[in-house]
Amino acid sequence: MRLVVDVVTIGGCLPGFMGIDCMEMYQLLLALLVTALCVNSLTMYGSHNVNILVLNMSDQEDEGNSNFSGPPKPSEVAKMARYIMHNSNWSVFAYKSRHPKTSEFPLGTTISVSDGPLGNGKGTPYMYVSEVEEAVQDTDKDSRCSLTMTLAQGDYCKQKKLDPQFPTCAQVTLIGRRERVSCVLI
């Protein structure tokens, strides 16, 4: 599967925070054009096919920039999104339930994520999911979904003694639609 992203948000936008107002922040976010990418998988999970959700952010990458030693400036939205992704091992995948008792409510599940091989991550999220996963079945019916990651899950915010909800302990939300992709032998 892949996620076709419509909106990317970086949490914690406060008027005047770090010299950036919310309108500037949202203009920067809209300028971040994210394209969907199909990634092939031959991996199996038990007897069920494993799907991969992929978001390609490489069109905004700096050539040769794989330095994720510390968070970038808040004004560098694309770099911050990649930094958060690189430092995340899991995310919250949110979607609309297909079950009658919960169909009017959004649901979320934690899902493992990776941005590539250790030491060579580029900030592109990869999520491995089974077809028996409830989130996959629910997004077959309504593909709208979001993926949220935060720096709070790593050591950065702890080391800096930042509250997980304070804007400097950033989070990123990717919003879009999930699409199935075919597995092709490479």
- Concatenate the DSSP letters of all residues of the chain into one string: -EEEEEEEEES---TTGGG--HHHHHHHHHH---EE-------EETTEEEEEEEEE-GGGPPTT----SS---TT-HHHHHHHHHHT-SEEEEEEE--STTTTTSEEEEEEE-B-SSTT---S--EEEEETTSHHHHHHHH--EEEEEEEGGGSSHHHHTT--TTSTTS-EEEEEEEEE-------
The model's pTM is 0.63
Please tell me the predicted confidence (pLDDT) of residue 105: 86
How sure is the predictor about 42, in pLDDT bands with cuts at 50, 70 and 90? Answer: very low
Residue 64 and residue 176: Cα distance in Å, rounded? 28
In CATH, what number does 2-179 get?
Answer: 2.30.110
The token duo for 51 is 């799907």
- And the tokens for 143? 């593909």
For residues 38-65, average pLDDT: 34
Judged against a pLDDT cut of 60, whether residue 127 lies above it is answered with yes
What is the rounded average pLDDT of the residues 89-96?
91
Whether 121 shows a pLDDT value over 80: the answer reads no
CA terminus-to-terminus distance, the chain: 17
Instruction: Work out the mean pLDDT of the chain and round it to a whole number.
Output: 67
